C-alpha cells in the first residue's frame, strides 16, 4: 500500500441475498426470523425486484435485501451467487474510491452513483483484472457513503 488510507469503514450497511423467487427468502427472513419489511426497490436496468428488511436501530441498523431477478435469464443475475453482496458504510466514498484505485483495486462499472437507499455508492468488483489486480476475492462489495448522523455517531462531532 502506497499511502495512508484516507477513509474509514464504519460498519455494515447491508447484506443482499438473492434467490430465483424471493417468497422463499421472505419465508425465512420475515415469517420465521421476524425481520420487518421497511421498503422495496425495483429496477429493470438492474434486473432486480427486492424487498428491504431491517434489523437493529439507529447507527446499528443493517438492511437485509431480499432480491430476485425480474428476468431470470437476464443480467445481472442477482440470484447468483445467493449471497449477492455486502454493503459497508464508508466515511469518505470519493476519497476511498480514488485511493483504492491507486492501490490497484478494481471498481465495478458504473462508478459512484446514487443507490437504492438514496446514498452514494460504488462497488468493488468480485475479481481483479490485469489493470486492477485486487478484487473482492469472489464477493461483490458495495461501498456506501455514510450519512452525517452516522459520521457523528461513529466519529464524534467535528
Query: What is the tens place of the pLDDT at every residue in 51-88?
Result: 999 998 887 899 999 999 999 999 999 999 899 899 99
Q: What is the pLDDT of residue 109?
A: 94
Q: What is the pLDDT of residue 155?
A: 63
Q: What is the pLDDT of residue 66?
A: 97
- Distances from the Cα of 68 to the Cαs of 36, 108, 155, in angstroms? 18, 21, 36
Within 10 A of 77 (CB to CB), how many other CB atoms are there? 15
Read off the pLDDT band of 2 (50, 70, 90).
low
For the chain, how are helix, strand and coil distributed in percent, rounded to 5?
20, 35, 45
| Single pTM value for the model | 0.86
Read off the pLDDT band of 157 (50, 70, 90).
low
Task: Give the separation between CA 5 and CA 116, rounded to whole angstroms.
Answer: 27
Query: What is the tens place of the pLDDT at every residue in 89-109?
Result: 999 999 999 999 999 999 999
CA proximity to 27, closest of 18, 35, 15, 39: 35
Q: What is the pLDDT of residue 67?
A: 96
Task: Give the separation between CA 24 and CA 58, rounded to whole angstroms.
Answer: 28
> Does the pLDDT of residue 6 top 70, yes or no?
yes
> Angle at the Cα of 126 (from 122 to 128), degrees rounded to 5?
100
CB–CB of 126/132 below 8 Å?
A: no
Query: What is the tens place of the pLDDT at every residue in 23-60?
Result: 999 999 999 999 999 999 999 999 999 999 999 888 78
By the 10 Å C-beta count (0-12 exposed, 13-18 middle, 19+ buried), 49 is classed as: middle
Q: What is the pLDDT of residue 59?
A: 76
Give me the mean pLDDT over the 122-149 stretch: 94
Domain covering 9-152, topology: 2,3-Dihydroxybiphenyl 1,2-Dioxygenase; domain 1 (3.10.180)
Pairing of strands 83-90, 9-18: antiparallel
Collect all residues with Cβ–Cβ distance below 8 Å to 92 and sequence separation of at least 6: 6, 7, 145
Amino acid at each position: 500500500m502506497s499511502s495512508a488510507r484516507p477513509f474509514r469503514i464504519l460498519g455494515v450497511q447491508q447484506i443482499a441475498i438473492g434467490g430465483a423467487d424471493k417468497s422463499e427468502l421472505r419465508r425465512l427472513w420475515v415469517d420465521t426470523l421476524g425481520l420487518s419489511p421497511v421498503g422495496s426497490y425495483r429496477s429493470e436496468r438492474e434486473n432486480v425486484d427486492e424487498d428491504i428488511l431491517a434489523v437493529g436501530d439507529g447507527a446499528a441498523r443493517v438492511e437485509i435485501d431480499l432480491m430476485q431477478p425480474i428476468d431470470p435469464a437476464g443480467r445481472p443475475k442477482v440470484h447468483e451467487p445467493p449471497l449477492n453482496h455486502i454493503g459497508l458504510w464508508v466515511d469518505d466514498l470519493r476519497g476511498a474510491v480514488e485511493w483504492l484505485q491507486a492501490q490497484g483495486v478494481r471498481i465495478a462499472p458504473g462508478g459512484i452513483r446514487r443507490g437504492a437507499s438514496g446514498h452514494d455508492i460504488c462497488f468493488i468488483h468480485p475479481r481483479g483484472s490485469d489493470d486492477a489486480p485486487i478484487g473482492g476475492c469472489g464477493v461483490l462489495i458495495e461501498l456506501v457513503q455514510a450519512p452525517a448522523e452516522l459520521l457523528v455517531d461513529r466519529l464524534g462531532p467535528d
